[in-house]
Structure 1
Amino acid sequence: MSNFPPATHDVFFFDDLLSPEERETRYKVREFAEKEIAPVIADCWERAEFPHHLVPKLAKLNLGGATLKGYGCSGQSILSAAMTVIELARVDGSMSTFLMVHNSLTMLTIGLLGSEEQKQQLLPKMAALEWVGAWGLTEPSNGSDASALETTAKKVDGGWVLNGRKRWIGNATFAEVVVIWARNLDTNQVNAFVVRKGTPGFTTSKIENKIALRCVQNADILMQDCFVADAARLPGVNNFQDTAKVLAISRIMVAWQPVGLAMGVYDMCNRYLKERKQFGTALAAFQISQEKLARMLGNIQGMWLMGWRLSKLYEQGRMTHAMASMAKAWNTLRGREVMALGRELLGGNGVVGDFLVAKSFGDMEAIYTYEGTYEVNALVAGREATGLAAFKAPPKRAQTGKGQHVQA
């Protein structure tokens, strides 16, 4: 299909809940995604290549920095940033993830936790998308248990020496600015450092053979005696809890991403079923087709409201960690159902990348897992609901002289 389908998913008039500025952002990004991204992205996804030629065009929309103010950043509201995320995801999950990692992880970390010198040096070029950012927290052995960092930072004269590995780091193969989280060997606390592209001892390798977000250049990072100057350390990071200042916003954006993917798949299915005929009538006329469309549409309305309410609670200072986890878990679960229904509705074409659905189906699998798996996020919500933690290290047990165990 040559043109992207029209938007038919907003049956509860959610645009009415947006400010004029937020609506303007939404439609500006929608037009860009449909005009510039849609015609080329299926081929890029098939080849697992990032469309670098789109970055200068994306930069003209003035979206860099998202919610940050000053230093050339766009200073968007939470909902404006969310509209950017969903409208990109509606057409392509990879482009949405690319900008979210750049804006709501890397730039936000520097903006909230960096020094004034770091902000002035890095943020203007990053806001203009001249420099792309990546964010290195996850490690090969530590995903959900992100606080158990094994990457180390050793203080030496004039700076720090970093050693360790990171995995699944989006944008890292070409990013100019990478924020690396590492454990300070002197204090045993987590610190963060800015590592620039080309730094000796810092190497990246692309993770191949993904079935999701194939355009995102996820990388393994290896640091072998990688030296960074004292000025590279972010002064606002003194323990792992400081990551929460960044993740509070990034988790909102990740909770919105399934909404965008679901909107795109619904819009594609709605048009497809009206155009394709079987047994002498449009597929849209069949009862089973309409039931599946209605279920997809209902999911989208609920997902949108969850994201909107979460964003408003953040603005009011009332959002909790568990709320963000619940929204992310529930939206990805419902989004998965939308993907599956869309794949069914398109029959054989549901597994062809050109029809969007197969691509989005795969992309949803990554979003279901990253920024906290469904299970971990559900248990975070469950912990707040019950007051009991379901995931924690079991108590150590010591051997007694009689072969029995006692709690240590």
Structure 2
Amino acid sequence: MHRGLLSPSPPMSTASSRPRPPINGDFYDWFSTLPDEVNAARLKLRDFMSGEWEPQANGYWERAEFPREYLVGKMKELDLLHGAYTPERAGMATVMDGLLSMEFARVDPSLATFFGVHAGLCMGSIALCGSEEQQAEWLPALRRWDLIGAFGLTEPDVGSGVARGLTTTCRREGDTWVLNGQKKWIGNSTWGDIVIIWARDEADQSVKGFIVRTSLPGYSAETMQGKIAQRTVLNGLITLSNVRVAERDRLQRANSFADTQRVLVTARCGTAWQGVGCAMGAYEHSLRYAQERTQFGKPIGSFQLIQMMMVKMLGNLTAMIGLALRASELQDRLGPKDEMSALAKQFCAAKCREVVQLARESMGGNGILLEFHVARLFADAEAIYSYEGSNEINAMIVGRAVTGYSAFV
């Protein structure tokens, strides 16, 4: 049986009639410091994720299926991107988007990736690197979820080294650009409407960005198979074979990898929040299990070793929330800073890994069964740990900032 995190659940034993403390991953009440409208949006999404999506999340994960029409319809109903990339959200944009990412990941990190690729990386590329005309043309439809976006940077043989080793090329011919190459791990690319493609100009070796319609001749995307993490979101291997893109669809303010980096830095806080959400979901499921599961005649939550696991998980989670929230607030106030978003991502992704491991361990053999939910979060945490800059890359970004020396090759 599948149960929502906040829904009542029948006790697994009547060994103890003592009232159970509430299941709450926000032990220090961080979210009470946020404006009412921010919490209202967060809790609206939580209601959907816990009440409607969680009971079916394991099935879609196990089958590696993404119910696109259903989920896009729900995104339209929730209207999560109302005011995104407008003055209406100025001052709280990073916090708002981060909290939404957390609520997605608390139940299903696959949906957090779906949201982050569309709203953070695709829309962010157009907002930061597009002309005013391009923003007016594309952002309203993306806000309404009438169009679905993707972001194509990583390549089959180039991951962390894209700054210097980008192999996808672009060549100008009159009023069009010809794109050739491949992109790998690209979420939403097999069924979305547009993909932001980053390519190296054959003429001057500079990096440029393009809004590529997936209907263009020469564009193809094959769904990647065999993933052990975030199986619900569909990642694609894109092949670009002489794809012709109009000059008007070249991002007019993207002329170097530094511009690509601006998008990555801006979106990286959202990935830190994904780590928070994944850890929060694992902790809360584990805590409920500890309250209900009995061994040797009493709830396992009464044993010292299980309580130590709970405290370790809660300590990590509480620190993660504080770090992600402060990094997001500073980004909203001062603008993106590479080292601050890198620290948030590095720390939260690493601690998420610890939390899901403890949560799985606390459940014993049941921890590897999907029906108890933690197994899925345990696997999905590996993707969070790896993307948006690996743990080591983000550590070197922060290390360079604090020591003054670059350790990059």
Give the TM-score category using the shorter length: over 0.9
CA distance in 2, matches of 1:118, 1:386: 40
Shift of 1:120: 2.6
User: In structure 2, what is the equivalent of residue 143 of structure 1?
Assistant: 159
Per-residue deviation, residues 379-407 of structure 1 (Å, max 9, x unmatched): 11111121111122xxxxxxxxxxxxxxx
Shift of 1:319: 5.1
Pairs aligned (count): 390
Judge which range, 175-184 or 74-83, deviates more.
74-83
* Superposition map of 1:67-146 within 5 A: 67-69=84-86, 77-146=93-162
TM-score for both structures, normalised by structure 2? 0.92
- Counterpart of 1:63, as a letter, is L
User: In structure 1, what is the equivalent of residue 26 of structure 2?
Assistant: 10
Shift of 1:119: 2.2
- Indicate the structure whose relative CO is greater, using CA pairs within 8 Å and at least 6 residues apart: 2
RMSD of the alignment, in Å?
A: 1.5
1:258 and 1:331 in contact (8 A); partners too: yes
Shift of 1:275: 1.1
* Superposition map of 1:305-384 within 5 A: 305-317=322-334, 320-384=337-401
Q: 1:283 to 1:304 in 2, by over 3 A?
A: same
Matched position secondary structure for 2:254: coil
Per-residue deviation, residues 84-114 of structure 1 (Å, max 9, x unmatched): 1101100000001100110010011112221
User: Are 1:47 and 2:68 counterparts?
Assistant: no
Shift of 1:354: 2.1
CA distance in 2, matches of 1:54, 1:92: 13
Shift of 1:231: 1.3
User: In structure 1, what is the equivalent of residue 11 of structure 2?
Assistant: none
Q: 2:174 aligns with which of 149, 157, 161?
A: 157
Per-residue deviation, residues 231-257 of structure 1 (Å, max 9, x unmatched): 110101011101232122210101111
Per-residue deviation, residues 151-210 of structure 1 (Å, max 9, x unmatched): 111001220000011111111111101000001112210000111122111110111000
Judge which range, 293-302 or 78-87, deviates more.
78-87
CA distance in 1, matches of 2:235, 2:355: 26
2:85 and 2:127 in contact (8 A); partners too: yes
Shift of 1:317: 1.1
Judge which range, 355-364 or 312-321, deviates more.
312-321
Matched position secondary structure for 2:119: helix
User: Are 1:239 and 2:230 counterparts?
Assistant: no
Q: 1:273 aligns with which of 290, 295, 307?
A: 290
1:21 and 1:80 in contact (8 A); partners too: no
User: In structure 1, what is the equivalent of residue 9 of structure 2?
Assistant: none
TM-score for both structures, normalised by structure 1? 0.92
Q: Give the 4+ runs in structure 1 shifted more than 2 A.
A: 64-67, 73-77, 115-121
Matched position secondary structure for 2:204: coil
Shift of 1:67: 3.8
Q: Which runs of 5+ in 1 are unaligned?
A: 393-408
Matched position secondary structure for 2:195: strand
1:85 and 1:253 in contact (8 A); partners too: yes
CA distance in 2, matches of 1:160, 1:22: 42
Q: 1:21 aligns with which of 37, 51, 58?
A: 37
